Chain A
C-alpha cells in the first residue's frame, strides 16, 4: 500500500513539474532555451514514475512488503513543532525558540524526566548561539531577549 502511494505521489510530482516546465519555451537543439532541460527531465520522469507506479499497482513492485514502523502521532508532533519553530524564530528570537524546540524534540523522542532535557536545551542553545552568532558572525535574531 505504502509503495503505491509513494510511487503515485512521485508520478503526480512529475506531471506537475512538466506542466510548469512547458510554460518555458523549449527552443531547439541548435538554440536551446530555458525550457529545454526542464521539459526533457519532466517527460523522462513521467515515463519512469508511471512505469514504477503501474508495476506496483500490479503487485510487482520491489518494496511491496515494507511496513513502516512509524508512530504517526509523534511524527506529526515533531513536524508541528518544527513549523512552530520556523514561525516564532524571528519574533521570539533564536535562544528561546531553539531551547523550546530542543525540549519538545527530546520529549517526543521519549527522553524521561524534565531536568536533563531542560539543561541540554538551554546549554546547547546558548552554545550554538555563541558559535554561530559571535564566532561566525551569522546574524541570528535576538528577538525578545535583547
Chain B
C-alpha cells in the first residue's frame, strides 16, 4: 500500500507540515534538559547574574509559545542563536560542517552505487547459483554491521595494517575514502538486494523476451532495457536510505574525526552547547526532508503512471 502523496502540490503541502513538526520538535529539545538548562550549561557554581544573563539571552524567561514564535521567526531569517562555547552564530558554524557532511554523504552514495548495482546485476543474472547465495550472505552481513564496528575494522586493515589511507581527519582526498566506504558499504548491500529483486522482475517480462528474440546482445538487453526499467525502485531506495546515511554519518564522522555536522553535534552534546546541537540536528533533519521531497517528485517524473492527480 502506497500512502506517499504523489501529486507535486500534495508532496509540498505534506512536506510543509512535516517541516513545521520537525522544527517544533527540535525547538522542544532544549526544554527537555532535566532541571534548569541554564544551570546544566553553566554549572552549579555560576553567579546569579550570569545565569540571569544566559536565561535572557536564550529567551528562557518568557512564555514557551513566545519562545517558539521567536525560534521560528529567527529560523526564517537564518538565525539559529549563538554558540555558548565560542560565541559565534550557530548558522555560521554549521555552514562549513554541512559541506563536509554533504561531501561524505555524496561519496558514500557513489560507493554504494558503484559496488551495489553491479553486484545486484550479477546476482540477478546468476539467480539461485553460488554467486547469488554468496552475495545474499554478504548483503545480510553488510546491512547488519554497524558503522562503529566496520569503521575501526577498516581503519585497522587499511590505515594501520596496509597504511594506504590516513587513520582520520580531513586533510587530504584520501582521508575521505575510509569514512565513505564505512558509510557506503551497508547501503551498497541493501542496493545490491534491491537491484537484484527489481532486475529479476523485469527480466521475466515479455519485452525482455522480445528483445532477446530480436537478437539483441545480452548486455544491451540487461543494461539498456531491463536495468533502465528497474531504476525506479532503486532510485526510491536510494532517496529513502539517505536518512539512514545521514544518521550513520553522525557515528562515522565521530569514528574518523571527520569534521561534519554529526561530529559537531556529538562534540556540542559533550560541551553542553545546546544551541549548536539544536542547529546541527535541525539541519540534518531538514536535509533529509528535502531529499525525501525530491525523491517523491522524481518518482512522479520517472514513472508516467504516477502523478497528474492519480
Partners in one complex: no
